Structure 1
Amino acid sequence: MTMWVFGYGSLLWNPGFPVARSERATLHGFARSFCMSSIHHRGTEEKPGLVLALDEQENASCTGLALAVKAGHEDRTLQELRERELISSAYVERMLDVHLESGDIENAVTYVIDADHVQYCGGMALEEQARIIAHAVGGRGPNNEYLYNTAEHLAEIGLRDHDLEWLAQRVRSITA
């Protein structure tokens, strides 16, 4: 049986595992947003950054990529994803149905925010998000690089995220 992973942020441009197939897919009931304070990858405890997470919201949906893990790599992929995504337990690993563009529905490993976790910061104004992203740096590099890579990859695969596009433009003007 194929193992699927739902990518909506950095997994779009840096899955970190062998992908046998990818297809645009939509997850219902969740919205992609910078609702997680990053104290490891894109910020520090002293100066947190922001990373994308899936925030559970009624009537929301998020379109990203369903990534099929290459056969024989499932165990290693799951182990590495857990090391990467569950570093501070702000994400929760869930198996959720994603609706592929082809019409199929697949059950995919999906990382969603724990709204009760201390790193949850949903509902922050976009201007405040831009100020944080413009200046934060963590173990995986500058926060703005994460934003730019995600926004650019979404555009490359034909997905529009107006908030990310606005943030990328605003952060570029702050850092210019």
Structure 2
Amino acid sequence: MIERPPGDLWVFAYGSLMWNPDFDCVESAPVVVHGYHRALCLYSVEYRGTRDVPGLVFGLDRGGACRGVAFRISEDNAETVLAMLWAREMITAIYLPRWLETALPDGRRIKALAFVADPGHEQYAGRLDVASAVELVLQGKGKVGHCLEYIRNTLDHLEEMGIHDRALHRIVRQAEHEQTRRGTLP
């Protein structure tokens, strides 16, 4: 596991952690991290796919900026939450855990734990064209559910936060169109 700074634990969420954190927090706030962007850049072989039929999930990829949510976990619960996050996010070691600096809306500067995509990992898909992404999204089903459901939930949460991701909308629209055309609903 990663060594953490003393005090409360901050976690940066940009995908399913935003809408399904599975932990209690004492504070949450919208934030932006710089140097990374949200991308469907990781093959999922556990939660939203299998090794034989992978899905596609979000990672923080290099470049740009990413709007998400920072969660503050009290120091007395930090080790428990960190262990839970490690078990959940590092199941295939696809992420590089990093402490990213960001600012809260009230101006406080924090360092939040973020799970950054590892471009050297075999599950790193990189930048895919829309058609390839749609195929992976449609085929992906793993321990936790369908890939398209995961992406829709993330997109819905982003919309609730006032974040409009046109590229993600396009992938969801095309995936839904293909589902209808093929007659394959999850």
8 Å Cα contact 1:43/1:49 also seen in 2: yes
Residue 133 in 1 paired to residue 163 in 2?
no
* Residue of structure 2 in register with 1:9 after alignment: 15
Q: Cα RMSD (Å) of the superposition?
A: 1.1
Q: Number of residues paired by the alignment?
A: 174
Looking at structure 1, the residues matched to 167 and 80 of structure 2 have their Cα atoms a distance apart, in angstroms, of 34
Question: Whole-Å Cα distance in 1 between the matches of residues 156 and 36 of structure 2?
Answer: 21
Measure, in 2, the Cα distance between the counterparts of 1:148 and 1:36. 17
Structure holding more strand per residue = 1
For residue 100 of structure 1, what is the amino acid of its counterpart?
A: L
What do the CA deviations read for 1:108-147 (whole angstroms, capped 9, x no partner)?
0100011001000111112210121012100110001100
TM-superposed deviation, 1:71: 4.5
- Within the candidate set 31, 39, 42, 1:36 is matched to 42
**Identity, % of aligned positions:** 33
Name the TM-score, length of structure 1 as normaliser.
0.95
How far off its partner does 1:32 sit?
Answer: 0.6
C-alpha displacement of 1:31: 1.1
Structure number with larger C-alpha Rg = 2
Segments of 4+ in structure 1 off by > 6 A?
none
Amino acid at match of 2:18: L
**Structure 2 gaps, min length 5:** 1-6, 181-186
Q: Distance in 2 between matches of 1:108 and 1:101?
A: 14
SS at match of 1:171: helix
Per-residue CA shift, 1:30-76, capped at 9, x if unaligned?
Answer: 0110110000010000000011000112xx00000011114521111
Unmatched 5+ stretches in structure 1? none
Could you tell me which residue of structure 2 aligns to residue 72 of structure 1?
A: 76
Distance 1:70 1:161 in 2: 32
Equivalences for residues 16-165 of structure 1 within 5 A: 16-57=22-63, 60-165=64-169
